[in-house]
Structure 1
Amino acid sequence: MTAANPLLSVRELSVNFRTRSGTVHVLDRVSFDVAPGEILGIVGESGSGKSVTAFAVMGILDQAARIEGGEIHFEGRDVLGMSARERDMWRGREASIIFQNPRTALNPIRAVGQQIADVLARHAPDSAAAIRAKVLEAMRQVRIPDPEKRAKAFPFELSGGLCQRVGIAMALACAPRLLIADEPTTGLDVTTQAVIMDLIRDLARARNLGTVLITHDLALASQYCDRIVVMHAGHVVEAAPIAELFVHPSHPYTTRLLRSVPSMVDDISQLQAIEGSLPDLRRDDLPPCRFAERCDRRLAACDAAGLMLEPVGPSHTVACRNPL
């Protein structure tokens, strides 16, 4: 899990949400690294904590959220220790995020070109003419046709794919070094999904971006990522290079996850549903392994405290006391 000279390093990150029905233990000791030029995939079923992890890194958690522990470092700098102003300038200038719903992420009553200009004016102020030129160049880089015309359009006048390209242009306008893509193909048709993911990959490679792709789509992750972090119920349960993870999955949850995806099995008869459901994260008696109550490999040792990610191969770690 440790990258040499990581761009982003997350260590033991724990996040709780305080709600009327109790405290929700959303993330528990989440750790991973992202190297420059690397595309890291964070995968897991809905509710596993993928997006919360991204929002915690970017400093855009809901007001009900509390970071209870852990560290986030960017190029060695303590992100959590930044002042509100420092974090605000870091976000956009050095780290950016692409949100999963391209239409709701944009201001519906503001022209898309002006929204890109707003980002530039805040983080890279320049003359109006220079900013306009940069807006058009940003739109060309994400392959938006006829940028002069499209810059004047409102989000409702554009397709979902074009709206997502605008979102990518906004995220990359100030040349950040870290890009987080949170389910960037949600709501797009299959052909447009491939176009958007090819665009993100090509731009990330060209700019040597450290990139985090958050997705529940393992097939998508297998095509575009260098490494995978598997999350379940707020835990990182496994992390490995892409080829290693798909050939030699070690955590029972990872294996079940792979068997639940049609494109990951040789025959449709091999498809298997993941039995049970995520544990109630409001519980104060959550087991050390939050998958234990769904696992057919559970041992008495699984209930002992102190579960940690342990190496099972080169750059391959797993949090399991009875791995495959």
Structure 2
Amino acid sequence: MPSSQLPPLTDSNVSLIQEAGARIAPLDPVGAEVSGLDLSATRPAPAVIAALEQEMARRGFIVFKQQQDLTPEQFITASCWWGGKQIHSTHGVHPATPNMNRDIFRLSNDPKIGIPGVGPQWHNDGSFIPETFSHSGYHIIRPAERGGGTCFAHQGAAFNALPEPTKQYWRRLASVNSNSGVIHPLVHTHPVTGQECVWLHLGMTGAVLEKQDAEDGFRLLEAEELTELCRQYNALLDDGFEQGYAINYEYQEGDCVFIDNLTMAHRAAPQAHLPVEQQGLRIMHRSTVCGTDLLRPRNDLPVHVDIHGPNPSANGVWHGGGVGFRWQKDIPMQN
């Protein structure tokens, strides 16, 4: 197991959580596990919630164990402890969703039970809206019997792993969502930790802009450049498994995971999408929480452009709709 590249938990937060009758412990190499706190019970004190949210920002995600009896409504209530404090749902509702709850995104490897095939490439949720989601929640109703969890990569530690020239180059880049035309920086500063983090959706990017010298403005990356960028980004997050800033987290029934969506990229493990006959049935409920701050592009770029309109440049990738630019033709890109 590689040494974690993340700082330890904050002593004051650990003590505060212990005083509330719960425990928090770091996972190796990323994330943290909380025990002794029933999400269906009384809402914790604001100071405890703040301490948990701070550790989520620093460690990427926290998992509450043994939440088997949590109802969908209680899961949504707990999701609203974080970030913007209210749900922002943009997904479709599967017919098998309990009570057709609009705020539950039900995922499964059986299309009769939930929506299959979601999230095979590294991404953050909500890249199609300016403020993005602050947090995402997963309640594991039934883990696959033979494995198939979620891969998580800490984007602050990933940025730190880049060579200095690449850091400087990526700071000049901004991605355009292929469906909405919303622009986000490839490197942003996290509002809680102050850490610079990389941020790119590998399944929903229609263009990438580079800031040039003041008199030259911006240019679009060409197909070869954008292909290389996506491959470098994918490799950077994959390297976290060996370098101590990524994990393939295998779920247990009742796990309730909350992710800081500005810190942690994620993708489904390949096994998660295998047929029920191979892996066993998998069921997950997901929530998404309102953002609290625009993930603003750098260098005075607008928040939004018309990605479905004509290419504003004579050159470069400008691809509206669908899964965006296909940087590798033989990989699944459903998000």
TM-score bracket, normalised by the shorter chain, equals under 0.3
Whichever structure has more helix as a proportion of its residues is: 1
Higher relative contact order (CA 8 A, sep 6+): 2
TM-score normalised per structure 2: 0.25
